[in-house]
Amino acid sequence: MTTTPFPDGFLWGGATAANQIEGAYDEDGKGLSVQDVMPQGISGPRSNQPTPDNLKHVAIDHYHRYAEDIALFAEMGFGVYRFSIAWSRIFPKGDETEPNEAGLAFYDRILDELEKHGIEPLVTISHYETPLHLAEQYGGWTNRALIGFYERYARTLFERFGSRVTYWLTFNEINSLLHAPFMSGGIPIPEGGVPEQQLYQAMHHELVASARATRIAREVAPAAKVGCMVLSMPVYPLTPSPDDALAVMDADHGNLVYGDVHTRGAYPGYFLRTLREKGIELDITDEDRDDLTNTVDFVSFSYYMSIAETADPAKRVTGEGNIMGGVSNPTLPASEWGWQIDPVGLRLVLNQFWDRWQKPLFIVENGLGARDQLVEVDGEKTVVDDYRIAYLNDHLVQVGEALEDGVDVLGYTSWGCIDIVSASTAQLSKRYGFIYVDRNDDGTGTLKRYRKKSFGWYADVIRSNGASL
Ligand code: BGP
């Protein structure tokens, strides 16, 4: 018998987000979200209106093809599927009092399909999809009013879907807010950038909203398990000098604070020091403090890469393409977009989070963005994506190591299990999927789906519960 470190019931699957997969951006009463005016991704300029070059408006047309897509996930043996609900389908402008029934009905149909195939849903409540109206009229998450709007939205979801969905995530990569304020927090970016005071206040509002969602879930859907979701990125000292080690600690703190608040229910001392030193005074009410004590059931995270850090400004060359900036690590290879490939980093992060928070962990994003070539093999169109198989295999081996270390891991959902629009580039040519979708950066293509080589590889991994790795 082959042995595997993966426990029985380990949840294998894949992950997507509404704005990157659904399309149908103005159908059935959906309002606009920030993504609908971001045709060029994170660093490109935003448009004032939806523009025809925005690939997300059709994306891969999952809104109409979800049944076919979920059947393909089932064919790979998925036990779990992570998707997000588009806030602007449920509350088109974000500040209404009554939800849009047609929007809710779409997610009922998704859940029906998942149930049919015995796939557990994992729902992200907010994945970079703040309703545009909340950005333009309220200044996004800088405004305390958003806590109430989010609360109403979350309550609506728990009431409607709470009996069908166990696993919930409050905000995708909540720690990206300071780095990508418009995409992550619906915060319009003025010339010269958003003042730090406002960014940190927005962060506080999201943390309170997240904790309130957890409290509401306890009341409305007691069986629900609510998790936070952070972008993880292990940080290595560029040299063994104590100063570099301190620079690593500071960089780590900037990310760990989110998990600390979500699992411990209060701000840690190092964060209060950061605020003091920056001269930032947050508006934190007694009610906020009380809300924050509603801690999560589990911690989920994305993992793509690690970075290095140094205290020496002369060596502080920011790594090209690193999601949050930072310094490139000279010992590691990188993807075409400069994301440094580091499977061992995943084991380190799993151990660090487990040691620190003692909450079950869920790896909800991991994968390799690459340019794929559709070719014909034995009369079938496919992609021979050995590079992707190698990346995923190496990372999953490290998950196995972490399990041997005693880390509690609930599951693994590979990012972009079907090709979708990339968040950073807003293009389709940066692909992550096991399933190739025929759509190009210029918007052409049949939207037909093809199984890549990794499709069969992942099916084997799932079938053998990781023994085939
Ligand atoms: C994460 C986001 C996803 C996703 C992924 C890959 O930061 O949560 O939405 O897209 O990164 O990024 P990209 O699509 O830019 O390669």
C-alpha span between 376 and 17 (Å, rounded)? 30
Q: Is the CB of 172 under 6 A from ligand 1?
A: yes
Q: Which residues of 311-333 are buried (b: 16+ CB within 10 A; e: fewer)?
A: beeeeeeebebbbbebbbbeebe
Domains with residue ranges and CATH for the chain: 11-463 (3.20.20.80)
The answer on pLDDT for 186 being more than 80 is yes
pLDDT tens for each residue of 282-321: 999 999 999 999 999 999 999 999 999 999 877 776 555 4
Q: Which of 152-166, 304-318, 329-343, 371-385 has the lowest mean pLDDT?
A: 304-318
Could you tell me the distance, in angstroms and rounded to a whole number, from the CA of residue 422 to the centre of ligand 1?
A: 6
Question: Residue 269 contacts by C-beta under 8 Å, 6 or more apart in sequence?
Answer: none
Kindly give the distance from the C-alpha atom of residue 4 to the centroid of ligand 1, in angstroms, as a whole number: 29
Atom number in ligand 1 closest to CA 422: 14
Confidence at residue 326, expressed as pLDDT on a 0 to 100 scale: 73
How many Å lie between the centroid of ligand 1 and the Cα of residue 423? Answer: 5
Ligand 1 centre and the CA of 405: distance in Å?
Answer: 28
Residues annotated as catalytic (active site), given as ranges: 173, 365
Q: Which atom of ligand 1 is nearest to the CA of 17?
A: 9
Which pLDDT tens digit goes with each residue over 160-178?
A: 999 999 999 999 999 999 9
Q: What is the pLDDT of residue 321?
A: 46
**432 CA distance to ligand 1 middle (Å):** 10
Spatial distance between the Cα atoms of 294 and 40, rounded to a whole number of angstroms:
37
pLDDT tens by residue, 41-54: 988 899 999 999 99
End-to-end distance of the chain based on CA atoms, in angstroms?
Answer: 15
- Pairwise CA distance, residues 403 & 409, whole Å: 7
**pLDDT, position 327:** 85
Give, using CA atoms, the residue closest to atom 10 of ligand 1: 423
* Span from the CA of 34 to the centroid of ligand 1 (angstroms): 16
Instruction: Pick the atom of ligand 1 nearest to 42's CA.
Output: 15
Average pLDDT of the residues in 353-381: 98
Alpha-carbon distance values, 247 to 66, 217, 312, 387 (Å): 46, 38, 9, 33
Minimum-distance ligand 1 atom for the alpha carbon of 424:
15
Pocket test for ligand 1, best of 172, 302, 303 (most atoms within 8 A of CB): 302
Please tell me if the CB atom of residue 419 comes closer than 6 angstroms to any atom of ligand 1. no
pLDDT surpasses 50 at 437: yes
Name the pLDDT band for 322 (thresholds 50, 70, 90). low
Is the CB–ligand 1 distance for residue 411 below 6 Å? no
CA–CA gap between residue 141 and residue 155 (Å, rounded): 18
pLDDT at 1: 52
- Number of CB atoms found within 10 A of residue 2's CB: 8
Task: Please check the confidence at residue 367 and state whether its pLDDT lies above 70.
Answer: yes
CA quadruple 258, 260, 262, 266: dihedral sign: negative
ipTM score assigned to the predicted complex: 0.98
| Cβ–Cβ under 8 Å, residues 129 and 191 | no
Question: Using a 6 Å cutoff on CB, does residue 302 contact ligand 1?
Answer: yes
Give the span between the Cα atoms of 45 and 38, in whole angstroms.
Answer: 7
Tokens representing 17 are 């987000």
Residue pLDDT, tens place only, 187-240: 999 999 999 999 999 999 999 999 999 999 999 999 999 999 999 999 999 999
Phi, psi of 125 (to 5 degrees): -75, -40
Q: Is 424 in the pocket of ligand 1 (CB under 6 A)?
A: yes
Strands 11-15 and 80-84: parallel
Q: What is the DSSP letter of 156?
A: H
pLDDT of residue 318: 59
Least confident span in 107-116, 330-339, 382-391? 330-339
User: How confident is the model over 88-106, as a mean pLDDT?
Assistant: 98
171 lines ligand 1 (CB under 6 A): no
The chain-wide mean pLDDT, for the chain, equals 96
Tell me if 423 CB under 6 Å of ligand 1.
Answer: yes
88 lines ligand 1 (CB under 6 A): no
Among protein residues, the one with the nearest Cα to ligand 1's atom 16 is: 422
User: Could you give the C-alpha distances from 148 to 155, 206, 212, in angstroms and in order?
Assistant: 10, 11, 9
**Average pLDDT of the segment spanning 325-347:** 91
Ligand 1 contacts CB of residue 129 (under 6 A): no
- Rounded to the nearest 10 degrees, the angle between the axes of helix 453-463 and helix 386-404 is 20
